Structure 1
Amino acid sequence: MDAAQPPTTPGEQVLAWMQGRGWQPFAFQEDVWQAVAEGRSGMLHATTGSGKTYAVWLGMLDALLRRHRHGRQAEPLRVVWLTPMRALASDTTKALTAPLRDLAPNWTIGLRTGDTASAERARQDRRMPTVLVTTPESLTLMLTRENAREELASVEYVVVDEWHELIGSKRGVQAQLALARLRGFHPGLVAWGLSATLGNLEDAMHVLCGPDPQPGPRLVRGRIDKTLVIDTLIPPDPGKYSWAGHLGARMQMPVVEEIERSGTTLVFTNVRSQAEIWYQLLLEARPGWAGHIALHHGSLDKATREWVEQGLKEGTLRAVVATSSLDLGVDFLPVERVLQVGSAKGVARMMQRAGRSGHAPGRPSRVTLVPTNTMEIVEAAAARWAARTGRVEKRIPPSKPFDVLVQHMVTVALGGGFRADDLYAEVTTAWSYRHLTRAEFDWTLVFCERGGESLAAYPEYHRIVRDEDGVYRVKDKGVAKRHRLGVGTIVSDAAIQVKFLTGANIGTMEEGFIARLKPGDHFFFAGRLLEFVRVRDMAAYVRKATRNKGTVPTWQGSKMALSTELSDAVLEMMQNAARGEFTEPELEAARPMLLTQQRLSEIPTPGTLLVEGYRSREGEHLYIYPFAGRNVHLGLASLLAWRLARERPNTFSISINDYGFELVSAEPFDVEPVTSQRVFSGDDLLHDVLASLNSGELAQRRFREIARVAGLISQGYPGQPKTNRQLQASSALFYEVFRKYDAANLLLTQAENEVLSQELELSRLGETLRRMREKQLVFVPLRHPSPMSLPLMVERFREKLSTETLAARLERILKDAEADNA
């Protein structure tokens, strides 16, 4: 088609391209094409593997072709495609290349992440590609360049893939600020978000699209009849009692047999240590699978992860044991089955993982849940019910994180500079900063300019300078270098390389775990049994071990909390059981446990709050079951213990899980404040929560992350990383200095707010107290531990007892209970 012909109608060119490949567009894809042609930003929500990528990409490509000479001449950077994962970035680049090559052969596509080779970066610096696939961190780094406006002003479209993965985190805020900057460069910018698992779509769309975009944004829901199969691998004889992990190893052979009956299978676990355990369990059962099964998690060496991903794409691996490192939309067509070991803890996470199988329109996705205790059998039925009824979790963006704003301010000062009024107007177009006051902005400005009230005497914290034209810039080359090395909001504990004595790299582990090892200790990592030899130059050197026992490495933050949506669904299933309705196969399997709970106590339901009392040689036990998740239960248990001890001095031990918590006191205590529900009052909640916890210690730990994001401390230079201890010491020093000499420091306030909102989930805690007050409280004195109370005992025993002592103690408890009920 030559330039003399009239412009084509929206979608005409890309429709012809699809038809040439024997494809027909879905209605939702054509809806997106039309919206993009109208210049609308928006949000596309559709099931995994249904064609979201081509819906948005072909719409944008079509619009570009109608405006820019049909791809006959090279174009500057027009499209930025943001992804949350490097592996996903590579896969996306391949997907976008095919139509670009056919429809606009002179246009180019590039990939820019932390893994991009320096030679490729240099080529891009000389001439940007027409389409750039990148991550939030790499886009922010591009904004630090002096000529950022010239390089990025041509961008007309931005796509944020897997928006649900970003929106609730500081990475999402980083993306918001980058989008605000790009809109400043190009006011007509069109932005689209893609997601398969979000419960608050309208809110998510407005967070992405900014304030009052004209024309108005469009929410498109992909109505694709894609079969989602959710079933459960029910343990043989779950029994009347079960606790966390109790049934795990017993599921070894059922899992092996499922893999044998299936094609390529993904076995998901929630944490890396569990992935290491299950990889060993599979090899122990089938030694001949060595080389045909693999392990994938974020601590493994990049080359190993890429080998595993390639094996999945080619279908050469029988099974891969993985964590969230393979959650997102990398296209593994050969994958037929997904097994989820243990609870997924959330409906959205379970559906996301299910979508890794049957990753193409028309193919069914199947996830099989593998419970590791009896309550997880009930959870499996609840998760399926919640997915069918659309009860998917919402994602809420952080509000005014000042550490991210500090980082962004220095970024913009590096990237050509800014005037204060202009940047304030721009920043407040980002959703998370829409309520930012000018006083808060000015405090941040002063903090970047001279370190606030307490750091004014230290030049290294004078990061930006105002010139005679009123423009703030970064003048110091050292500040610029440190800032660029520290760009990003992902904060993890200091990692240490794990290497063989030959120098071959295996991966990275937390420094805290390595620090606990002595030469000669054995541990499993990357699917191998290793012997620790020594640490030298920030590397842990190991050799292959021959002994068959090892310690499984434990990573920080390993326990996720049950979501509200899934908790409520579990209570719905429990109510069915209380009525004698065991219609789901999972409830039938859990019937012995549920009937034992009913005989010894009561079954919790949505309308009741179960409280159990028990007396043992240890003292008085109180069990309360709000079903609010472990984070809320930690805050609740601490709060109630403090309130009870305030009325009558006492000391309590605490144990928690996702369903409830235990308070234990050596001294008797009055349960009337609990049974009357007086102790569940929402009055003075903030004061009481702060008084009941070591909130100062929690805030100091949280401040360490904030200080890193805000650029107060750095993790060192390449080849010269700082140790965990150095980082802790630096952040602790800043924390104390600010508390003593700069009490109004907004970073301190942020640390306290993040502890309350994220670690203790204060708003959810308050809502849980309200719901507890509104329920009918059922108090049951126990003669023996109930099936729901025993797991809480086990959680506490594990802190004190060896595995052998714990097993003997549990055997005695269960024998006594059975004898009394015989």
Structure 2
Amino acid sequence: MNRKELYTIAIDWFAKQGWKPFPFQKKTWKAFLEGKHGLLNAPTGSGKTYALWFPIVLNYIKSNPEYKTNKKKGLKAIWITPLRALSQEIKQAAERVANDLDTQLTVGIRSGDTPQKERAAQKRNPPDLLITTPESLQLFLASKDYQKLFKDCSAIVIDEWHELFGTKRGVQMELALSRLKTVAPKLKIWGISATIGNLDQAREVLLGPDSKAFQNSVLVKANIKKNIKVASIIPDKMETFPWRGHLGIHLLDEVIPIIRNSKTTLLFTNTRSQCEIWFQRILERYPEFAGEFAMHHSSINKETRLWVEQAIRAETLKAVVCTSSLDLGVDFAPVETIIQIGGPKGVARFLQRAGRSGHRPGAVSVIYFLPTHAIELVEASALQQAVKKQAVEDRIPYLNSFDVLIQYLTSLAVSGGFYPEEIFPEVKQTFCFQSITQDQWSWMLQFITVGSQSLQNYDEYKKVEVAEDGRFFIQSRAVAMRHRLQIGTIVGDAVLSVRYQKGGYIGSIEEYFVSKLTRGDVFTFAGKNLEFIRIKDMQVHVKNSTKKTNRVPSWSGGRMTLSAQMSELLRAELYQASAGNLYSRELKSLKHIFKQQQVESIIPSNQELLIETFETREGHHMVIYPFEGRFVHEAMGSLLAYRISLLSPITFSLAFNDYGFELLSDHAVDIQQVLDNELFSPDHLLDDLQKSLNATEMARRKFRDIAVISGMVFTGYPHKMIKMKHLQSNSQLLFDVFRDYEADNILFQQAFRETFEHQLEEGRLRIALERIEAQQIVWKHCEKATPFSFPIITDRLREKLSSEKLEDRIRRMTAKLMRR
């Protein structure tokens, strides 16, 4: 069957559905059937799944003319999804194509949710088309005879590549692909990505920079202009001195008419805690929504999440309060409206969420922006510019993630063994390990066989044995089992399941939150008020409670930072305000705040960095506004405090948000001395950062993750997980050993490198300092706190006061400032 006949099959199928294929779908079919690898850039809801399932099935038809009567056994294609929740959608699309074309192809899902019985059946008789996750693919590579399973595989698709790219899960995927290229010579590799700033690099990381696959690859862009309408919810009356969280719930009544006028609404929050609070408050104030309202986040049990997703499809729910758990691919055609609560902190995330509305080709996406404090309306104005310019962030790929490489080599050793001379060239072809040296490779091999220099006397680190012919393998069944249990790169705080006393599973929360509860304490979770009874076998036992509570679980990762792209757009909006150009509805609504800021201080232009100083009963405040995001401000604040202390002994407390940071001290700072000594210089940045931030302590925390991923510490068996404090102490012990006796240990050094590159965003901090060096520094000595500084001051108070006391304190502070 020639290519033209194959295209006709696909086009006829589309016609039967009343559809017409998009040009990008046809381009993808053509490139795939010509034997090319590639990356498809397409927005959510544009038909990207059919862009790749079709050529996979058509390629099978081409290779098997008797496909209707004589089906070849064995795995033919793999579809990787980063979220298990997406598997059913992808399976339905694959089955629809395979069944409608009479191919007899079977479709299977393999993930952490797949029952053991089904896994065993898949092992005996693999499905033709397999949908799985990066972690499950690694488990296949850790299985005996995996080469036989994959040898006839003709395609692998990595969906939502933008979610994996720039993470250790992405590195895990790079290594798996490097092996599959050798094992399955006919394999075509394709990624699907939403828009990111560095798409060409995303393709390079996916395929390997110097590989034959990259040289024979294409980048296909959908070029579907998504019509996104951004509508900000602006209150009639706004405070002049804004603070975080104050506006959010106060605008709840503005949200209800929007929900009532829409078939289905998704309310996106940035954190799971915020999600819980909004769900609870809406039902408290509008009990008539009970039964029509639901909540969706990743810590709620799977059955509830699936029920919510199905209910949205069936249009039986009026609204869902959710987090990023509904950002990706799940197909909800009926969703009419999106409400974003608080700044999304990134353009790509905002566009992804906007795309959930009007989730059909050609439909208009409506997204309402609800600020949690007034200054966030500047972000809303900036996002409108981002939509116009299609300005999205780059993703920064990981380099030399040696902990992931050690885990991968151990997986290969479990599967029956590997020969280093065969695997090294494959590893070196990946983007992450393109610069790995022979010495580093030898160190890795030594580490998995005898442990590092300071661990070689301990048998527990001697996992891998070497056969006479040079094959590296694992003999011990106990070591193999422990390794398989720990495959993966997602390391968070220890998670405990929450269950009713009689056994019903509700969801999962982190050990850190539970450790602060005592028997009888009530907290809100999964939309219920629950009374804490006890912890038993890594389970939190609870019962329903009628008591009211403000206590909501908090999860790590709860505080997000502005992306570099978002920071740049935000600064551009403020520069417009500085010039008096309040061109957008959002900027006009902040006119009174900008006016007060100009009275008390200034709004900096693009040529200026603003420093404000003022004095209160708390002490001497110095507030600096780089508008670079909270992570950069945390590092810059610590750096500046350290450099000032070198000029004269002084102690600071530090507070920061996405717009700036505050240094508070008992003594006034000689600002002129600060300016004369070029304290914002990027020179000696790394050295000064190490001294200012207690980088060793930060690296120690980072090392815990590296120790878990590399298998140096074991996290435990199912239902018998090792407590987080024990994991921490085990990894700290190793960290201290390496620091004192083996400072050149590659994993020890990696902890510091990742701390600076990924946690402190050292590269972005350096660029910010270089920008500041070229600006004029404007120092304003103010009589009192300004509208710009007020959110930073109140954020610091939030850490010390309960929510009721905080509101009272801020009300008094605001009244005092307004009286003046």
Secondary structure at the counterpart of residue 42 of structure 1: strand
The whole-number CA distance in structure 2 between the counterparts of 1:152 and 1:381 is 50
Hey, what does 1:43 align to over in structure 2? 39
Structure 1 segment 521-540 matched on structure 2, within 5 A? 521-540=521-540
The 8 Å contact of residues 312 and 335 in structure 2, kept in 1 or not, is answered as: yes
Match of 1:156 among 149, 154, 157: 154
The whole-number CA distance in structure 2 between the counterparts of 1:398 and 1:720 is 32
Letter in 2 for 1:203: Q
The whole-number CA distance in structure 2 between the counterparts of 1:113 and 1:70 is 32
Letter in 1 for 2:57: L
Hey, what does 2:129 align to over in structure 1? 131
1:578 deviates by 2.0
The whole-number CA distance in structure 1 between the counterparts of 2:102 and 2:480 is 38
Letter in 2 for 1:605: S
Letter in 2 for 1:588: K
TM-score normalised per structure 2 = 0.97
Structure 1 segment 240-255 matched on structure 2, within 5 A? 240-255=240-255
The whole-number CA distance in structure 2 between the counterparts of 1:66 and 1:685 is 59
The whole-number CA distance in structure 1 between the counterparts of 2:441 and 2:185 is 23
1:811 deviates by 3.2
The 8 Å contact of residues 239 and 592 in structure 1, kept in 2 or not, is answered as: no
Hey, what does 1:518 align to over in structure 2? 518
Secondary structure at the counterpart of residue 230 of structure 2: strand
Deviations 1:349-369 (A, max 9, x none): 001111112222122222211
The whole-number CA distance in structure 2 between the counterparts of 1:77 and 1:644 is 63
Secondary structure at the counterpart of residue 27 of structure 2: helix
The whole-number CA distance in structure 2 between the counterparts of 1:789 and 1:300 is 37
Secondary structure at the counterpart of residue 595 of structure 1: helix
Which shifted more, 674-683 or 23-32?
A: 674-683
1:703 deviates by 0.7
TM-score normalised per structure 1 = 0.97
Hey, what does 2:454 align to over in structure 1? 454
The whole-number CA distance in structure 2 between the counterparts of 1:9 and 1:677 is 74
Q: 1:590 to 1:71 in 2, by over 3 A?
A: farther
Matched, 1:588 2:588: yes
Which shifted more, 102-111 or 642-651?
A: 102-111
Deviations 1:675-705 (A, max 9, x none): 3470011111111000001211111111111
Deviations 1:141-199 (A, max 9, x none): 00011101111111111111111100010001101111111001123421111122311
Hey, what does 1:190 align to over in structure 2? 188
The 8 Å contact of residues 524 and 553 in structure 1, kept in 2 or not, is answered as: yes
The whole-number CA distance in structure 2 between the counterparts of 1:673 and 1:256 is 54
1:637 deviates by 0.3
Secondary structure at the counterpart of residue 367 of structure 1: strand
Hey, what does 2:311 align to over in structure 1? 311
The 8 Å contact of residues 416 and 474 in structure 2, kept in 1 or not, is answered as: no
Hey, what does 1:615 align to over in structure 2? 615
Runs of 4+ in 1 over 3 A off after TM superposition: 5-10, 673-677, 801-809
Hey, what does 1:662 align to over in structure 2? 662
Secondary structure at the counterpart of residue 374 of structure 1: coil
User: Aligned pair count?
Assistant: 816
Which shifted more, 401-410 or 231-240?
A: 231-240
Secondary structure at the counterpart of residue 604 of structure 1: coil
The whole-number CA distance in structure 2 between the counterparts of 1:533 and 1:421 is 56
Matched, 1:59 2:51: no
The whole-number CA distance in structure 2 between the counterparts of 1:461 and 1:453 is 11
1:543 deviates by 1.3
Hey, what does 1:494 align to over in structure 2? 494
Q: 1:639 to 1:7 in 2, by over 3 A?
A: closer
Which shifted more, 740-749 or 208-217?
A: 208-217
Hey, what does 2:110 align to over in structure 1? 112
The 8 Å contact of residues 675 and 779 in structure 1, kept in 2 or not, is answered as: no
Letter in 2 for 1:450: V
Letter in 2 for 1:208: L
Deviations 1:655-687 (A, max 9, x none): 000010001110122112433470011111111
Secondary structure at the counterpart of residue 157 of structure 2: strand
Letter in 2 for 1:19: A
Q: 1:471 to 1:775 in 2, by over 3 A?
A: same
The whole-number CA distance in structure 2 between the counterparts of 1:680 and 1:77 is 58
The whole-number CA distance in structure 2 between the counterparts of 1:705 and 1:235 is 44
Letter in 1 for 2:11: L
Letter in 1 for 2:95: T
1:10 deviates by 5.1
Secondary structure at the counterpart of residue 143 of structure 2: coil
Letter in 2 for 1:434: Q
Unaligned runs of 5+ in 2: none
Letter in 2 for 1:797: L
The whole-number CA distance in structure 2 between the counterparts of 1:78 and 1:517 is 51
The 8 Å contact of residues 345 and 566 in structure 1, kept in 2 or not, is answered as: yes
1:804 deviates by 4.5
The whole-number CA distance in structure 1 between the counterparts of 2:239 and 2:44 is 37
Letter in 2 for 1:401: S
1:225 deviates by 3.8
Matched, 1:427 2:423: no
Match of 2:25 among 22, 29, 36: 29
Q: 1:35 to 1:597 in 2, by over 3 A?
A: same
Q: 1:771 to 1:39 in 2, by over 3 A?
A: same
1:306 deviates by 1.3
The 8 Å contact of residues 531 and 544 in structure 1, kept in 2 or not, is answered as: yes
Structure 1 segment 79-228 matched on structure 2, within 5 A? 79-210=77-208, 211-213=210-212, 216-228=216-228
Deviations 1:493-535 (A, max 9, x none): 1111211122211111111111100111111001011111122
The whole-number CA distance in structure 1 between the counterparts of 2:67 and 2:87 is 23
Letter in 1 for 2:116: S
Q: 1:743 to 1:590 in 2, by over 3 A?
A: same
Matched, 1:18 2:18: no
The whole-number CA distance in structure 1 between the counterparts of 2:298 and 2:250 is 27
Hey, what does 1:675 align to over in structure 2? 675
Which shifted more, 387-396 or 796-805?
A: 796-805
Unaligned runs of 5+ in 1: none
Hey, what does 1:291 align to over in structure 2? 291
1:6 deviates by 5.9
The whole-number CA distance in structure 2 between the counterparts of 1:401 and 1:673 is 42
Letter in 2 for 1:28: F
The whole-number CA distance in structure 2 between the counterparts of 1:403 and 1:450 is 16
Q: 1:209 to 1:617 in 2, by over 3 A?
A: same
The whole-number CA distance in structure 1 between the counterparts of 2:676 and 2:692 is 21
The 8 Å contact of residues 10 and 33 in structure 1, kept in 2 or not, is answered as: no
Hey, what does 1:752 align to over in structure 2? 752
The 8 Å contact of residues 11 and 21 in structure 2, kept in 1 or not, is answered as: yes
The 8 Å contact of residues 228 and 387 in structure 2, kept in 1 or not, is answered as: no
Letter in 2 for 1:213: K
Letter in 2 for 1:266: L
The 8 Å contact of residues 44 and 359 in structure 2, kept in 1 or not, is answered as: yes
Identity over aligned pairs, percent: 42
The whole-number CA distance in structure 2 between the counterparts of 1:618 and 1:774 is 33
The whole-number CA distance in structure 1 between the counterparts of 2:285 and 2:803 is 23
Hey, what does 1:74 align to over in structure 2? 71
Deviations 1:104-137 (A, max 9, x none): 4321111111001112111110121111110000
The whole-number CA distance in structure 1 between the counterparts of 2:173 and 2:807 is 50
Secondary structure at the counterpart of residue 443 of structure 1: helix
The whole-number CA distance in structure 2 between the counterparts of 1:25 and 1:137 is 33
The 8 Å contact of residues 197 and 351 in structure 1, kept in 2 or not, is answered as: no
The 8 Å contact of residues 151 and 185 in structure 2, kept in 1 or not, is answered as: no
The whole-number CA distance in structure 1 between the counterparts of 2:38 and 2:584 is 39
The 8 Å contact of residues 155 and 182 in structure 1, kept in 2 or not, is answered as: no
The 8 Å contact of residues 337 and 366 in structure 2, kept in 1 or not, is answered as: yes
Hey, what does 2:437 align to over in structure 1? 437
Hey, what does 1:558 align to over in structure 2? 558
1:11 deviates by 2.2
The 8 Å contact of residues 152 and 186 in structure 2, kept in 1 or not, is answered as: no
Structure 1 segment 715-754 matched on structure 2, within 5 A? 715-754=715-754
1:581 deviates by 2.0
